[in-house]
Structure 1
Amino acid sequence: MKDSEYFKLDLITILPAIVFVFVMWLVYWLEVKFYFRFTDNGIRPDRLSGLQGVVFAPFIHSGVKHLWSNTLPCLILITTLTYFYRNLSFYVLLMGILITGVLTWFLGRPSYHIGASGVVYMLAAFLFFKGILTRHYKLLSLSFLVAFFYGSLVWYVLPIKEGVSWEGHLSGAIAGIILAITTRNKLPEKRKYVWELDQYKEDDDPFMRQFDENGNFIELPEEEE
């Protein structure tokens, strides 16, 4: 499989991110339009019923600012996940949401934890560490891009800002690392040049025949050229 075939952008690549973000905005619109309050469906660590938030919390937000702060990262990171790890993307997204939510329920304070921030941290951690572990040059470059654009996120896995679920951020980062270590991804085959092929014979190569065994250029007879 060639790199150009492996890294291909199409509707399937961008659709998961669009659907995920659409549901986020739909839930918020329902709250505003019909005066619903979905916060109680978030993750509540001190209650067994709070486990329902493992599924619902990523799509519930406290306001437009909170919602918008997660919209662009989700669009970018989910699309990136699907683009570079198509065969793993659904599994990583689903398991990442579940692991992040369960860890938040175990680690979190006794309050409602809502928002897609944990998913953002999970995706950023997965993309960064998976690229490092695979050592494929394109995926390694992706790791550095994620570190460049989202490196500042690391500070918010600590309780440095009141009202922010740092436990959800930390849980997301842990989930991303776990998935990066435990999943296997089929990498594109490395492109080989002609001289790297098993059937390559130096004596049959017109270019190599212009040099002697010491690497000195020799002029071939006209008919041989």
Structure 2
Amino acid sequence: MDPTGPFTPPTPEPVVAAPKPARQPKPLAKRVVPPRPVLSAVVVLAFVGLLYVVEAIDTVLGGRLDNDGVIPRDFSQWDNILWFPLLHGDWTHLTGNAVPLLVLSYLATSAGIKQFFQVTAVIWLTSGLGVWIFGSYGSHIGASGLVFGFLVFLLVRGIFARSALQILLAVVVFAVYGAALWGVLPGQPGISWEGHLFGALGGVLAAWGVARDARKSARTTLDA
């Protein structure tokens, strides 16, 4: 370069904007809307539809299936725990459970179908075992234990997960269905309040388990 020649300033490097970080999806444990809403609706409708098919079969059989519910402390009938929520005393009993079951179980699919089945299994078995051990004698049938389980699951999961949106949803759910919680107390003859109570306890247990698994998964991700 000729020191006597004109000075040419260096060409500045172009400024490149840093890429905008991708928006992280909301963790499944804190969702309030199902990730696959159509699939959730199909699964819930199929389950409730199954209840109507079973009741139709029971009607044809003259109500014989109603004796196949959970019979407390009867070892010869322990396996009835596996299907007692599918049985109902009549169409009115079924319809009374079907509407809240549709709403609450759909909301319970917010973390996906796999978790929904896990939550359902916990509530189902907790309600059935609780009735078998502590229930009053008779054939306990009906999906109301699931209804109470999903209701309480939705009410407390936001507290375990520390999710403001889930707590807000719980307030709405409580405003609509909260009065039903009186059903966990002894009251009307012929109503399995034990099934309601242990279904509700199953909902608490399921919510705690979901939150525990979510925290464990988060720790594993951070350690990776």
Q: 1:183 to 1:17 in 2, by over 3 A?
A: same
Structure 2 portions without partners, runs of 5+: 1-23, 216-224
- In 1, the alpha carbon distance for the partners of 2:87 and 2:97 equals 11
- In 2, the alpha carbon distance for the partners of 1:154 and 1:110 equals 23
Q: 1:35 to 1:161 in 2, by over 3 A?
A: closer
1:92 matches 2:119: yes
Contact residue 66 and residue 139 of structure 2 kept, 8 A: yes
Give the residue type in structure 2 aligned to 1:147: F
Cα shift at 1:46: 2.9
Contact residue 132 and residue 143 of structure 1 kept, 8 A: no
- Fraction of identical pairs, as percent: 28
Cα shift at 1:9: 4.7
Give the residue type in structure 2 aligned to 1:114: I
Q: 1:37 to 1:61 in 2, by over 3 A?
A: same
Q: 1:49 to 1:23 in 2, by over 3 A?
A: farther
Report the counterpart of residue 77 of structure 1 in structure 2: 104
- In 1, the alpha carbon distance for the partners of 2:193 and 2:47 equals 22
Any residues of structure 2 matched to 1:25-174 within 5 Å, and which?
Answer: 25-35=52-62, 37-84=64-111, 86=113, 88-174=115-201
Report the TM-score when normalising by structure 2: 0.77
Contact residue 17 and residue 75 of structure 1 kept, 8 A: yes
Q: 1:47 to 1:87 in 2, by over 3 A?
A: closer
**C-alpha offsets along residues 119-145 of structure 1, whole Å, 9 cap, x if unaligned?**
101111111111122221211111111
- In 2, the alpha carbon distance for the partners of 1:98 and 1:19 equals 20
- In 1, the alpha carbon distance for the partners of 2:153 and 2:170 equals 9
Contact residue 50 and residue 105 of structure 1 kept, 8 A: no
Specify which of 200, 205, 216 is matched with residue 178 of structure 1: 205
Contact residue 57 and residue 114 of structure 1 kept, 8 A: yes
- In 2, the alpha carbon distance for the partners of 1:86 and 1:140 equals 21
**C-alpha offsets along residues 126-165 of structure 1, whole Å, 9 cap, x if unaligned?**
1111112222121111111121111112211111111100
Contact residue 122 and residue 176 of structure 1 kept, 8 A: yes
SS at match of 1:38: helix
Question: Which of the two has higher C-alpha Rg?
Answer: 2
Cα shift at 1:40: 1.9
Contact residue 119 and residue 172 of structure 1 kept, 8 A: yes
Contact residue 97 and residue 119 of structure 1 kept, 8 A: yes
Give the residue type in structure 1 aligned to 2:85: P
- In 2, the alpha carbon distance for the partners of 1:138 and 1:130 equals 11
- In 2, the alpha carbon distance for the partners of 1:133 and 1:85 equals 18
Cα shift at 1:19: 1.7
Q: 1:85 to 1:150 in 2, by over 3 A?
A: farther
Report the counterpart of residue 15 of structure 2 in structure 1: none
Q: 1:11 to 1:49 in 2, by over 3 A?
A: farther
Cα shift at 1:78: 0.9
- In 1, the alpha carbon distance for the partners of 2:87 and 2:100 equals 16
Report the counterpart of residue 42 of structure 2 in structure 1: 15
Contact residue 41 and residue 52 of structure 1 kept, 8 A: no
Cα shift at 1:84: 4.6
SS at match of 1:39: helix
